[in-house]
Amino acid sequence: MPRIALYPGSFDPVTNGHLDVVRHAVTLCDRLIVAVAVNSSKKPLFSTEERLAMLQEVCGPIAQKAGCAFECATYDNLTVTAAQKAGATIMIRGLRDGTDLDYEMQLAGMNEAMAPEVHTVFVPASPAVRPITATLVRQIAQMGGDFSAFVPSSVAAQLKAKFAS
């Protein structure tokens, strides 16, 4: 039976922290689905289509190099429901610090109660990417700062274009 993992998030934008999680996740499964959450009450910087394209461009080669099947998807329901619909038995969650752990433990407990067949796997962030958040990257970009060390170069170009006007 293939090990299918779902890595959910907003990915607005894709950061080097996200890539760090993907590098670890592709060693844990046979197929990785990176799923973009679509929430109509939120106004993301990048459209769903832009985020999917960024993820495919920067994460696809990582998965291919590891011999892991890769795809991007969207979902607009409970994350655990998205995992079930995708046939995933593993849900990947990145952890930067203790605050993340506290929150993620609550989510993992609730998800396990709703779908005991979906197991949450926590991937600790590598030290170099621990401080990176998409929110901080957006703020730095909006205020004209140098965010290039926090995102892949292709994402940096797209961010620059968003704030060039």
Kindly list the strands in the beta sheet with 90-95, ordered across the sheet, starting from the edge strand earlier in the chain. 69-75, 31-37, 4-9, 90-95, 119-124
Domain boundaries, the chain: 4-130
Angle between helices 16-25 and 48-66 (to 10 degrees): 40
Please state, in angstroms and rounded to a whole number, the distance separating the CA atoms of residues 80 and 73: 14
Binding-site residues for ATP sit at: 10-11, 18, 94-96, 104, 129-135
Positive/negative CA dihedral, 133, 18, 79, 103 = negative
CATH number 3.30.1370.100 given to 4-130: no
**pLDDT tens series, the chain, 165 aa:** 899 999 999 999 999 999 999 999 999 999 999 999 998 888 999 999 999 999 999 999 999 999 999 999 999 999 999 999 999 999 999 999 999 999 999 999 999 999 999 999 999 999 999 999 999 999 999 999 999 999 999 999 999 999 986
Binding-site residues sit at: 10-11, 18, 42, 79, 93-96, 104, 129-135
* Under 8 Å between Cβ of 138 and 147: no
Q: pTM surpassing 0.85?
A: yes
